[in-house]
Amino acid sequence: MKRERLVRMAFAALIGLIMAAVIAWMTIRHDQRQAAGVATNVAPASIGGPFTLTTHDGRVVADTDFQGKYRLVFFGYTFCPDICPTELQTIAQAMDLMGEGGADVQPLFITIDPARDTAPVLAEYVALFHPKVIGLTGTAEQIAAVAKEYRVYYARSQGEPDPTQYLMDHSTFSYLMAPDGSFVTVFARGTTPEQMVEAIATHRSRGR
Ligand SMILES: [Cu+2]
């Protein structure tokens, strides 16, 4: 009887130890991942860069045409069923919150689906969100180049043979670039308009 109880207690202790070890391991892994996330934010200088693209109203523009303006940059595509509309809505709300104070903030929507997102298609789409949003498209090569600069991943989703109906897989970060074109910060999906406004205000208060 006594021995049985001892065995049970030892067993319970062992389970406890294993659980503690698992929790410790999970915590360490979580911290490592966070550290990795921080590390990618520590090397921001290499995010962004020069580009030549076509606006939704057919003008050829370069990154330098937005010199002197904050840029809220989002990569997506007009056929996107959920994420892109949500993120563009967030950017539009941030613009509304800033009002006149956002006169020097330029939202840019860069398509990662240039095959379907021609300038007229983009024009119709961006108008749904905010009059200040500029849609940008280009050749497959131009889009690949700018996506690479911003570390944006995108790929046509497999399994949809219809060339008008396919979906795109793509990363869903929004980028805040400073008036000199340098990288300020990246917003993960789910960032609120208030947080975007705050990030711009914080950068302003530090002086350019
Ligand atoms: Cu999308």
- Residue 167: which CATH number? 3.40.30.10
- Are 166 and 180 within one domain? yes
Same domain for 54 and 118? Answer: yes
Q: What residue spans of the chain are helical by DSSP H?
A: 2-42, 83-98, 119-126, 140-149, 193-205
Residue 27, pLDDT > 60, answer: no
State whether residue 100 is helix, strand or coil: helix
Residue 144 CA to ligand 1 centre (angstroms): 16
Which amino acid is present at 146?
V
* 36 shares its domain with 60: no
57, pLDDT greater than 50:
yes
Ligand 1 centroid – CA 168 distance (Å): 7
Claim to verify: residue 102 and residue 154 sit in the same structural domain: yes
Q: Please choose, from the candidates 104, 93, 131, 64, the residue with its C-alpha nearest in 3D space to the C-alpha of residue 201.
A: 104
User: Is the same domain home to 114 and 159?
Assistant: yes
Ion ligand 1 nearby residues (CB, 5 A): 76, 80, 83-84
Same-domain pairing of 173 and 113: yes
Chain segment 142-185, per-residue pLDDT in tens: 999 999 999 999 999 988 888 889 999 999 999 999 999 999 99
Q: Within this chain, do residues 127 and 64 fall inside the same structural domain, yes or no?
A: yes
Q: Are 98 and 154 found together in one domain?
A: yes
pLDDT confidence band for 34 (50 / 70 / 90):
very low
Q: State whether 141 and 122 are in the same domain.
A: yes
Q: How far is the CA of 158 from the centre of ligand 1 (A)?
A: 15
Same domain? For 24 and 122 the reply is no
Å from CA of 76 to ligand 1 middle: 5
> From ligand 1's centre to the CA of 171, what distance in Å?
8
Domain span holding position 38: 1-42
| Predicted local confidence at residue 160, as pLDDT | 86
Contact 113, 84 (CB under 8 A): no
Looking at the 3D structure of the chain, how many domains does it have? 2
* Band of pLDDT at residue 36, cut at 50, 70 and 90: very low
Ligand 1 centre and the CA of 81: distance in Å? 7
- Integer Cα distance of 32 and 107 in angstroms: 33
> What residues contact 143, with CB distance under 8 A and at least 6 apart?
53, 110, 111, 112, 114, 137
What's the rounded Cα separation, in Å, for the pair 166 and 112?
13
Q: How many angstroms separate the alpha carbon of residue 97 from the centre of ligand 1?
A: 23
Are 164 and 72 in a shared domain?
Answer: yes
Q: Which residue has the tokens 């600069």?
A: 149
Q: Are residues 86 and 118 in the same domain?
A: yes
Whole-number Å distance, alpha carbon 83 to ligand 1 midpoint, is: 5
